[in-house]
Amino acid sequence: MSLVKKPSFKASWYLIGIFKGMGITFSNMIRNLVKKAGNDKISLAMKTYNYPEEKYEYGPRFKGNHVLTVKKDGSIRCTACMLCATNCPAQCIKITAAESDDNTVEKYPISYEIDILRCVFCGYCEEACPVDAIRMGPEWQTAALNGSDFSYDIKHLAYRAQLKGGIVSRVDEEERHKAGI
Amino acid sequence: MLKCKINGQDVEVAEGSSIIEAFKATGQDIAHYCWHPGLSVAGVCRLCMVEIEGNPRLQIACNTQVQEGMVINNNSDKIKDAVKWGLDFHLINHPLDCPICAQAGECQLQIQYMKFGQYDPEMAERKVKKRKVVDLGPKIVLDTERCILCSRCVRFTDEVSKTNELGIFNRGDHSEIGTVDDRPLDNPYSVNTVDICPVGALTSREFRFQQRVWYLKNETTVCNGCSTGCSTKVYFNEEGMWRVKPDHNDDVNGYWMCDEGRGTPRFVNKDSRLLSAWNGQKDEGQDLEAGAAAKAVGQTLKKVVAEQGSDKVAFVVTGQYTDQENRAFLSLAKDLGVKVYHWVNNPEKMDEFDGLLIRGDKNPNTYGLKEAMKEVGVGSPWSELESSVSDLEYVVVAGPENHFAYSDLTDKVDLFSKANHQVWFVAGDHDVLRAASNKVSLIPTKTYVEKDGTYKNFEGREQRIRRVMTLVPGALSLTEASKLMSGQELLVDGNVSESYRKTNFFSSNERGYL
Amino acid sequence: MEVKILSEHYHKDDFQGLTGYKANGGYEMLKKAFTMKPQEIIDLVKAAGLRGRGGAGFPTGVKWGFLPDNGEPRYLLCNADEGEPGTFKDREMMERAPHQLVEGMIISAFAIGSKKSYIYIRGEYDDSINSCRQAIKEAYDAGLLGKNIMGSGFDHDMDVYCGAGAYICGEETGMISSLEGKKGQPKLKPPFPAVQGYLGKPTIVNNVETLASVIYILRDGVDAYRKYGTEKSPGTKLFSVSGNVVKPGNYEVPLGYPLKDLIFDLCGGLKPGRKLKAVIPGGSSAPILTAEEAMVATLDYENLAQHGSMLGSGAVMVIDDSNCMVDLLGVTLHFYHHESCGQCTPCREGTGWLDKIVHSILDGKGRLQDIDLMDEVAGHMMGRTICALSDAAAMPTLSFLKKFRDEFEFYVREGRSKVKGQAHAQM
Amino acid sequence: MFQLSPAGIDFVKTELNRYETKRSAILPCLYKVQEENGGWVSPEAVNHLADVMDIPAAHINEVLYFYTMYNKKPVGRLHVQVCATISCAMNGARELAKHICDKYQVKEGEISDDGMVTVTKVECLGSCGTAPMMQIGNAYYENLTKESAIEVIEDLKKKSTNQ
């Protein structure tokens, strides 16, 4: 048995709801036009950024596009341990590991793909990574022409132009081995 | 039978069994590294501590015999503290290798740490550095730094494979597992040491970085590598089958399995499989739907037998198929009245046996096939086929799944290409078949992990195999093919074997417990 | 003053050879033993209350009683490994009176009915190995070994087996593994060696001094033997005194002899201008006694146990005030770290860990919580392993930390030793 | 390739059936191999001994690497082993070892340039009453002072050079 109630008289008039909504919109619009942002009392107006000349500055913890960090010698820091791929709720990270012939490295990713269209930018991968190999950088304007450009590979994630040669990871192998841990 | 009380639960145990066996019998949880049911007792990891009433000191469970009326508990705080410190001693010189270690996910140190450890590391001094990534031959990679010196692998090479290759060299905390002068560890059972190694010291070169273990699901089935019929655990996920491990079966293989049997993924995975039926000659031909191809072959066979007589067609069978498949195929041959020939792949090595698990007869079901042929009343000597093959119209072959054991595949194809037509029910995609001189039609069949059925091993012990996954959707099992060839329709049977029920990928996966 | 029974004829040069030994009453007791029944000898030893002189102090008669009479061949092994730091009493007996050991072993073998016995001597004792081999050859030539000894119908073979440098082979089952040609790693107990020892056969392992004392129990009888020593620890014992004393060496005194007299009377006290700081009474695995405790302690199993230490192998190490206790603990733990056989995890990793902590303190990088950590680690090594080496490493650590904690804290805070002028020599 | 001398082979044969099991003969035979191989046991020597005694090489290698008196790497003609445990350490053994090392400019465990001297600190040799002391070859040299130790080593060097 369904519990559909008879609509009350006020609710049956749709116009009342519409006018209330439009009222709020127009009052904000007029306030923004009249009052300039930034005068002394708490301004209610929204600051307008003239994008792209003026860009909004996000905080340091902003979770934008992923960055794969590198070691001091430029090689990729990721050890293909699959923790990020496991922790990712959207399951959009695909890694294939391979054996490296340098015995101190032992394992590194041959391919590391993030399907950025599936990614929800939650940052779980950053939290899961034991060696600070993946970070979520500050960039967020990422447009591309066709769908396949949105699956980022190692070359894009670690060595794209904006990174200027790759960002060095905080957790580095050499110090850890020298310290004997 | 001895009666004792474990953690408050009454237990009946056989005479002379140790406390840890009593724990295992009741399924109670006890931390242990060096004890293994299939090996002798070493008593060196000192983790399986239990408190026995009337005995002030903690006793190790693996070497203490159960006495009548013993009251044992292992969940008191004293035990938890003892196990925590036992684990601490194991971990102080253990390298922080989890990201690059193949054993991560099923490593006993990780499991026990989550249960008993959960502490911040107290050791501030330098760890002992030992040799890493030691090459021990084609199958095993050794990392002596991760080794916790539980000596399971040494006892294995001394007691089971009896090749005495491994030893613990040096003394104290500089002791290292290894072979003399880094000689390869290469006996036919060497990969068993990888299974029983509780940590990532011994890793198998084949599976080393292929897949993370928590992505794999596992099912128990029977190995089709040879006629011993060992019980095995198959590890798989969507992309295919990654590795095979032995499952405990006291009557057949105990806790062990040979290295050959671990090679089954090579002929099961998609890259070596025949994906769809094919009709054609000398590499030119077109792909077909498997079901339709089988029906077409069925009709032409009936036509040929009706017009030219049943001696124009020959059936060839191998010991690779289950009992149900054999009966269906043989009864089809009986109805058509054609002769059936048994293709024996290596007659001279048939009754070889290496004393433990490896047998010369590389077919899982030769016993079942012979039984079925006697029961259905078919079967003629192979020489007859060799003489009469050239004037045969059709040769229908139930080809081998495990083509690695069938080294004589090429010359059998040449033999059959003397006939007019040859029809192959085969799982693998072999170029030699497509390049045969006469008209060929190939029909993909399922491998042993994709079908239900029973094998009979060398002593006639019937063992069930189950459908674990579907790798080639179009493939047919021989029963289905025989049904189609005899004209019936394939009804989709309602009861999908419940082992393949779609469950949550991660939670259903049981960590690899030793 | 000294009571010389075992070491009575040490000073005589010809006592090493068979003729000299026989001239001083040698092998008379063997003749007497053959007149008695084996069980009589065992009861005699049990009545005399002879306790093992190797370190554990287990009553020998009782140990001999554990042998199951299931007809299996029995072995008698003499533990002459003497790896315990500070001990050198067996070496002197084997070099000066090997026949005394051989005769004692034949009598004991006759008592327990064993046809084969080995003397397991540590590899470094080259002189002792040669003198024992020489003594056994002489005994064979004189018909005291081999078939139908002295017409008694009892035949017995004896051989010397050399160790190759491992303290762990001093432990009963470690020695048995070494004798079987394996690594000297102790075996799981139970089954105890008396039930399943060498090659799975019943085996009795006794120290050199224990076997030699059997002769004099036979010669003097129980009451004369019990005249010396206390009620629970009868008889005399050889003590090897070493360290900062004027006259270090082996002294045979009755058990229950005051430690103070041993150090200051027999050994001539300390070097001039030095004060007694501590004494390790029973070898390196015995907990340490402070100077005050050493003044009141007497050398027998019960009294030393009351003082929290143990008699052990009777190796008295005298420590005067010129030594730094942290440094000494470092040396002791380095010894145990080097000698741990590596079979059981708590001992293999624990000795290494303790060694590293004490050496990080010695290098001035110690932290205050290191001292409590050492306490905890040593506490969790006690009673957790197959053999007693992990207890032997933990007990000195616990006693050093309990009785000289101020020196450790001083060292951690100041980064140098409390004892002036004690530069920590690099290990 | 290391080969046992005929005398060595006979020694091994007699040792093999001197004890209850073949395996007990490993320790004495390793001593013989070390003697004939110039003071240390090489991996080829282990393989050769394994063939002669028909015992798995891993068992022999385990014994070789467990005991300290078998040298796993070459040592100088005079292997000076200074005891550095408790009583000897209290009587200045470590300073003595350092003094010998400086005298022959050799680091601990390595061979001096003229291949004659290797200095190592070893654990208790059971001669604590006569500390400080050292063992060279099979002989004990006790109650040493810095000068007397060097004297002993010098005349041993002279004796072994004119052999």
pLDDT tens readout for residues D32-62: 999 999 889 999 999 999 999 999 999 999 9
Angle, helices C208-226/C98-112, rounded to nearest 10 degrees: 80
Residue D71 lies in a domain: no
Cα B322 from Cα B455, distance rounded (Å): 5
Residue A143 inside a domain? The answer is yes
Domain check: are B278 and B178 in the same one?
no
Domain presence at residue B243? no
Hey, of D2, D44, D65, D122, which one would you mutate to test binding to chain B, going by the most B CBs within 10 A of its CB?
D65
pTM of the model: 0.91
- D62 and D83 part of one domain: no
Q: Which residues of B touch D59 (CB under 8 A)?
A: 164, 167
Q: Do C13-226 and C325-414 fold alike per CATH?
A: no
Specify whether A99 is located in the same domain as A148: yes
**From the list A79, A81, A99, which residue is nearest B208 (CB)?**
A99
Nearest to B311 by CA among B278, B339, B274: B339
> How many domains does the structure of chain D reveal?
2
Closest CA to C27 of C95, C110, C117, C103: C103
- C341 to B262, C198, C344, D72, D139: CA distances (angstroms): 37, 19, 8, 18, 27
What is the average pLDDT value for chain D, to the nearest integer? 91
The answer as to whether A61 is a domain residue is no
Question: In this structure, are strands C249-254 and C236-243 parallel, antiparallel, or unpaired?
Answer: antiparallel
Q: Cα dist. D67→B181, D4, D30 in Å?
A: 18, 21, 11
Q: Tell me, yes or no, whether D87 and D61 share the same domain.
A: no
Distance from CA of B40 to the nearest CA of A (A): 34
Nearest 5°: CA angle at B303, between B300 and B305?
A: 110
Chain D interface disruption, residue of C84, C133, C175, C242, most D CBs within 10 A: C242
A129 and A79 within one domain: yes
pLDDT averaged over every residue in chain C: 91
> What kind of fold does domain C325-414 have according to CATH?
de novo design (two linked rop proteins) (1.20.1440)
Residue B401: inside a domain, yes or no? yes
Domain that holds residue B36: 2-90
Residue C326 has pLDDT above 80, yes or no: yes
With CB atoms and an 8 Å threshold, state whether A81 touches B98.
yes
CATH number, domain containing residue B191? 3.30.70.20
d(CA D24, CA C176): 10
The 10s digit of each residue's pLDDT in A113-161 is: 999 999 999 999 999 999 899 999 888 888 888 888 899 999 999 999 8
Domain membership of residue B263 (yes or no) is no
Fold exhibited by the domain C236-320: Ubiquitin-like (UB roll) (3.10.20)
How far is residue D100's CA from residue C102's CA, in Å, rounded to a whole number?
40
Which of B230, B186, B232 lies closest to B205, judged by CA? Answer: B186
D89–C331 C-beta distance less than 8 A: yes
Out of B157, B167, B171, closest to residue D61 by CB = B167
The parent domain of residue A17 ranges over 1-48
Between the alpha carbon of residue B172 and those of residues B128, C326, C334, C344, C381, the distances in Å are 11, 23, 12, 9, 15
Total of domains in chain A: 2
CATH code of D49's domain: 1.10.10
Q: Same structural domain for residues B312 and B164? A: no
Residues with Cβ within 8 Å of D66's Cβ and at least 6 positions away in sequence, in order, are B169, B170, B171, C166, C183, C184, C341
Residue A105 has pLDDT above 90, yes or no: no
Interface of C to B at Cβ within 8 Å reads: 166, 183, 188, 190, 337-346, 348-353, 356-357, 360, 367, 373, 380, 383-386
The tens digit of pLDDT for each residue in A9-31 reads 777 778 888 899 999 999 888 88
Task: Give chain B's radius of gyration (CA, Å).
Answer: 27
> DSSP character for A167?
P
From chain D, pick out residues whose CB is under 8 angstroms from the CB of B181: 43, 46-47
Q: Is the pLDDT of residue C192 over 60?
A: yes
Q: What does the pLDDT look like over C385-403, one tens digit per residue?
A: 999 999 999 999 999 999 9
Residues A109 and A170 in one domain: yes
The predicted structure's pLDDT at residue B512: 40
**Statement to judge: residues A100 and A126 lie in one domain:** yes
Return d(Cα D90, Cα C330) in angstroms, integer: 12
Q: Which of A75, A93, A99, A177 to mutate to test the interface with B (most CBs of B within 10 A)?
A: A99
Q: Average pLDDT, stretch C244-264?
A: 92
Task: Please check whether residues B435 and B370 belong to one and the same domain.
Answer: yes
Spell out the domain ranges in chain C: 13-226, 236-320, 325-414
The verdict on a CB contact (< 8 Å) between C164 and D87 is: no
Q: Could you give the count of Cα atoms lying within 13 Å of C387 in the half-sphere of its Cβ? A: 22
Residues composing chain A: 181
Determine the structural domain holding residue D91 and report its residue range: 78-161
Asked if chain C contacts chain A via 3 or more Cβ pairs within 8 Å, the reply is no
Cβ-contact C381, C391 below 8 angstroms:
yes
For residues B33 and B73, state if they share a domain: yes
Per the document, the length of chain C is 427
Specify if A91 maps to a domain.
yes
Taking CA atoms, B311 is separated from B294, B329, B384, in Å, by 21, 17, 11
Task: Looking at the structure, tell me whether residues A113 and A82 fall in a common domain.
Answer: yes
Together in a domain, A135 and A169? yes
Q: What are the C-alpha distances in Å from D80 to residues A18, D96, D151?
A: 102, 12, 13
- Chain A nearest-CA distance from B260, in A, is 23
Same-domain pairing of B284 and B374: yes
Is C90 in contact with C125 (CB distance < 8 Å)? no
Q: Are strands B394-398 and B313-317 parallel, antiparallel or unpaired?
A: parallel
Same domain, D94 and D121: yes
Does residue B254 sit within a domain?
Answer: no
Which of B157, B169, B171 has its CB closest to that of D61? B169
Among the partner-chain residues B170, B171, B180, the one whose CB lies closest to the CB of D58 is: B180
Do A41 and A76 belong together in one domain? no
Q: Which of D16, D32, D66 is the last residue of a domain?
A: D66
Contact C351 B124 (CB under 8 A): no
CATH at D123: 3.40.30.10
pLDDT at C25: 86
D60: in domain? yes
Size (chain D), residues: 163
Is residue B186 one of the residues assigned to a domain? yes
Mean pLDDT for C3-21 is 87
User: What average pLDDT does this structure show over A59-82?
Assistant: 91
Say how far apart CA B266 and CA C252 lie, in whole Å.
76
Residues B128 and B57 in one domain: no
Q: Is the CB of D128 less than 8 angstroms away from the CB of C87?
A: yes
CA C418, CA C273: separation in Å to the nearest integer? 18
User: Quick one: tokens of C380?
Assistant: 């969790």
Question: Distance between CA atoms of B472 and D152, rounded to whole angstroms?
Answer: 83
CATH number at residue B72: 3.10.20.740
DSSP 8-state symbol, B417: T
User: Residue D156 is encoded by which pair of tokens?
Assistant: 């041993």
Q: Hey, which chains touch A, using 3+ CB pairs under 8 Å?
A: B
A179 and chain B in contact, CB less than 8 A: yes
Q: Are residues D37 and D82 in the same domain?
A: no
Spell out a b/e string for D33-65, using b for 16 or more CB atoms within 10 Å of the CB, else e: bbebbebbbbbebbbbbbebbebbbbbbbbbbb
b/e string for A124-158 if b means 16 or more Cβ within 10 A?
Answer: bbbebbebbbbbbeeeeeeeeeeeeeeebebebbb
What CATH number does the domain located at C13-226 have? 3.40.50.11540
Residue length, chain B?
Answer: 514
ipTM score? 0.89
Quote the DSSP letter at residue B127.
P
**Per the CB < 8 Å rule, is D95 touching C425?**
yes
Q: What is the pLDDT of residue C115?
A: 93
Domain contains A58: no
D72 belongs to a structural domain: no
Distance (Å, whole) CA C336 – CA C414: 27
Residue of C nearest to D81 (CA): C124
Residues C84-114: tens digit of each pLDDT: 999 999 999 999 999 999 999 999 999 999 9
**Partners of residue D93 in chain C, C-beta under 8 Å:** none
Residues in chain B predicted with pLDDT less than 70, given as ranges, are 493-514
Residue A174 clears pLDDT 90, i.e. is over it:
no
Q: Which of B57, B89, B125 sits opposite C345 (nearest CB)?
A: B89
Query: What local confidence, expressed as pLDDT, does residue B494 receive?
Result: 60
Burial call B130-152: b when 16+ CB within 10 Å, e when fewer: bebbbebbebbbbbbbbbbbbbb
CA angle C349, C353, C356 (to 5 degrees): 140
- Say yes or no: D82 and D157 in one domain: yes
% of residues, chain A, pLDDT over 70: 89
Give the residue from B209, B230, B260 where a domain finishes.
Answer: B209
Same domain, D153 and D83: yes
Domain boundary among D66, D91, D108: D66
Long-range CB pairs of A132-135 (<8 Å, 24+ gap) are A132/A69, A132/A77, A132/A169, A132/A170, A132/A171, A133/A68, A133/A69, A133/A76, A133/A77, A133/A78, A133/A79, A133/A169, A134/A66, A134/A67, A134/A68, A134/A69, A134/A78, A134/A84, A135/A66, A135/A67, A135/A69, A135/A167
Q: Do C348 and B172 touch (CB under 8 A)?
A: yes
3-state secondary structure of C83: coil
- pLDDT tens string C222-240: 988 888 888 888 999 999 9
Q: Is residue D129 part of a domain?
A: yes
Residues 355..414 of C with a Cβ closer than 8 Å to D: which? Answer: none
Please report which confidence band the pLDDT of residue C327 belongs to, taking 50, 70 and 90 as the band edges.
Answer: very high
A101 and A42 in a common domain:
no
The predicted pLDDT at position C425 comes to 45
The tokens describing C286, both together, are 């015995």
Q: What is the CATH number of the domain that holds A135?
A: 3.30.70.3270
What's the rounded Cα separation, in Å, for the pair A117 and A122? 13
User: Stretch A81-106: mean pLDDT, rounded?
Assistant: 90
Residues B333, B280, single domain; the answer is yes
Q: What is the DSSP letter of C406?
A: H
Q: Provide the number of structural domains found in chain B.
A: 3
Reduce the secondary structure of A122-144 to three states and give it as a string: CCHHHHHCCCCCEEECCCCCCCC
